Structure 1
């Protein structure tokens, strides 16, 4: 069984990785590690840089994700800076930015980067869409953030915080097909 270290402090993201890779007989170990993030609007560039840094730091094969929420009416803001937006702004603050905006479409771009020590990273990109709600729905759910209090995923009529955790794990596992691609890539390395 192959083992990879998933660099994340987010247990929810870790559950998604386990959901997919566990079925592929790849063990995923959560590695809590703060990585440097380069200033870029490209999630692929950010994830690849951080994965290479982390693989060298812990001397193990690592996977790492970066996500950006690109709100069309705000010219792509906040993009990959969502981590900071979630720290600094409330969902109400974000909704104030949307006042008077008819277009509430948002594109979510996520990148998974995989890197083994002393090698170049491989990255996989996925994308989904959704809309920004008219009002926030706050819950006491673990891991609730400003953006998921107002983000309505494609195919849903509720914000992410209103949807049961297990259902959202399955949703993101399906959307984030990069975990499947990573499994295929890892197995291709083993046979080459």
Structure 2
């Protein structure tokens, strides 16, 4: 995986940063032609200072809290590719179940499908849930901390509606909307999704690394967390 800066040389930190996106419903990184990779590129647009190149690799399925899992996966991905990486991990958390399925959503989805996810809450009045996306960024240097960029969208679990080509989207309806993720036009979903919000934090971080434009005294707005 590699990243190149548009319009000039990279700064000292940026030249160690490369990017890819992790596949939501499987191990490793999403292939460049996947729906997820296309969505990431659509959200970032042409103003992002790096070019994304996805690479498919196999990553272990770690146990633990979302942040712990994201950091471990990013560290292992950086070790495998011997360089900088960006790894995505997604959770779908049901409040009635104390946050489950959470980071284990892919296993629940594989076995239960969207209909089964909805049925998990059949005995609960509380159908509320939230989608959490975490991008973990490593420069490739194991001595440097992994940076985390998070995005969260609240909603509720409903009877599945819409296209079935994007994971659990058919059964997640974001707050304030009458449509599920799967029913929304991609352009609309990409302005409110958990992935959009996480990528917005990533963009802010890279904006803080860019040299200031002449005459612009505004401070950088990096929001990465280590």
- So what's the TM-score if we normalise by structure 2? 0.72
Alpha carbon RMSD of aligned pairs, Å? 2.3
Say which SS state the counterpart of residue 127 (structure 1) adopts. strand
Residue 113, structure 1, aligned to residue 127, structure 2: no
- Structure-2 separation of matches of 1:21 and 1:139: 24
CA deviation after TM superposition for structure 1 residue 4, in Å: 2.1
Q: Unaligned stretches of 5+ in structure 2? A: 6-16, 24-29, 212-226
Native 8 Å contact 2:170 2:180 kept in 1: yes
- Structure-2 separation of matches of 1:117 and 1:57: 10
Q: Residues 43 and 186 from structure 1, CA distance in 2 versus in 1: closer, same or farther, beyond 3 angstroms?
A: farther
Residue 197 of structure 2 aligns with which residue?
A: 175
Residue 159, structure 1, aligned to residue 180, structure 2: yes
1:68-87 aligned at under 5 Å gives the runs 68-87=91-110
Native 8 Å contact 1:21 1:28 kept in 2: no
- Structure-2 separation of matches of 1:17 and 1:178: 13
The number of residues matched between the two structures is 183
1:24-173 aligned at under 5 Å gives the runs 24-40=48-64, 42-119=65-142, 120-133=145-158, 135-140=159-164, 142=165, 144-145=166-167, 147-172=168-193
For 1:31-57, what per-residue CA distance to the aligned partner results, in whole angstroms no more than 9, with x for missing partners? 1122113101x2211111111111111
Structure whose alpha-carbon radius of gyration is higher: 2
Higher helix share: 1
Q: Unaligned stretches of 5+ in structure 1? A: none
- So what's the TM-score if we normalise by structure 1? 0.83
- Structure-2 separation of matches of 1:14 and 1:181: 20
Native 8 Å contact 1:63 1:112 kept in 2: yes
- Structure-2 separation of matches of 1:27 and 1:185: 18
Q: Residues 185 and 69 from structure 1, CA distance in 2 versus in 1: closer, same or farther, beyond 3 angstroms?
A: farther
CA deviation after TM superposition for structure 1 residue 110, in Å: 1.8
Native 8 Å contact 1:17 1:28 kept in 2: no
Q: Residues 168 and 79 from structure 1, CA distance in 2 versus in 1: closer, same or farther, beyond 3 angstroms?
A: same
Question: Which structure is higher in RCO with an 8 Å CA cutoff and minimum separation 6?
Answer: 1
Say which SS state the counterpart of residue 96 (structure 2) adopts. helix
For 1:58-114, what per-residue CA distance to the aligned partner results, in whole angstroms no more than 9, with x for missing partners? 122110111211101122110110111111112222222211322111122221100
